[in-house]
Amino acid sequence: MVRVGVHVSIAGSIERAVARAAEIGCDTFQIFSRNPRGWAAKPLSDEDAARFRSALAVSGMAPAVDHMPYLPNLASPKDEPYERSVQGLEDELVRAAALGIPYVVTHLGHHLGAGDAVGEARVIAGLNRAVGSAPPGVMLLIENTAGEKNSVGSHFASIARILEGCACPDRLGVCFDTCHAFGAGYDLRTQDGVDGVLAGFDDAIGLARLRVVHCNDSKGALGSGLDRHEHVGLGAIGEEGFRLLLHRPEFRDLPFICETPEDGRRDGAGNIAKVRELAA
């Protein structure tokens, strides 16, 4: 059996996320540790962190994954938002360590027209600062992006250059988002496509660096540059693509996190069930 879960809310208190994940049958789950759409963060008390760690230990779910908020832009050429972004990442790594969460997932951001080289250099400098000062026990995972204009990290070669430039490579890994990969032009619909994508990933980055999979179908077409998630099997990738991925030995031991819609067609529990069906 694969480990599969969804992104769950921390509304009410952060420890409630554990119960919400358990209620819908997660083996693993992802949270935002704070408001994902703002810069300010409510301080995480020692008591809150201890309750979360205790609930997580009792649940048996693993790993819990923490996702960075949306606003930080580690590739920004503008000093003020860049400094806030690096500080936000430093703070998030501290929060994850307090919660006993082993992985923090981050997008790398957009260079705003300054060019890939400038964006990647800004990311490398920011990661070196944040990861270099982070508490032990937390790994930062770079998430591939969907090929939007001026984005950094949409292609394996870009992620590879960033990893090669970082001073703490053993504390960095990758979160592979299927929707984003498809939007960036990586075809996951067929056996040949999946074989080629994973071979390309291994050549550029190394499959040993892959720690988490964001298991999302795509509302956009191949190479569209669209980051629009769809229920597993109901989008442009389709059921066969996910079946092929889920049966790859390199993926069988990885946690799969669905960041899929909640609507009349299917909910989080339904996407978990679909992943397990395709993996069986």
Catalytic residue positions, numbered: 37, 67, 70, 107, 143, 177, 180, 214, 227, 229, 259
How far is Cα 95 from Cα 33, in angstroms, rounded to an integer? 8
Residues 6 or more apart whose Cβ sits within 8 Å of residue 73: 81, 82, 85, 109, 110
Angstrom distance (rounded) from CA 237 to CA 244: 11
What are the structure tokens assigned to 182, written together? Answer: 């498809």
Beta strands, E only, 93-193: 103-106, 139-143, 172-177
Q: Report the first-to-last Cα separation within the chain, whole angstroms.
A: 7
Residues 6+ apart with CB under 8 A from 62: 3, 27, 28, 56, 255
User: How many angstroms separate the CA atoms of 110 and 150, rounded?
Assistant: 5
Phi-psi region of 223 (alpha: psi -120 to 50; beta: other; left: phi over 0): left
Contact 94, 135 (CB under 8 A): yes
CA angle 156, 67, 90 (to 5 degrees): 90
- Report the distance separating Cα 247 and Cα 227, nearest Å: 25
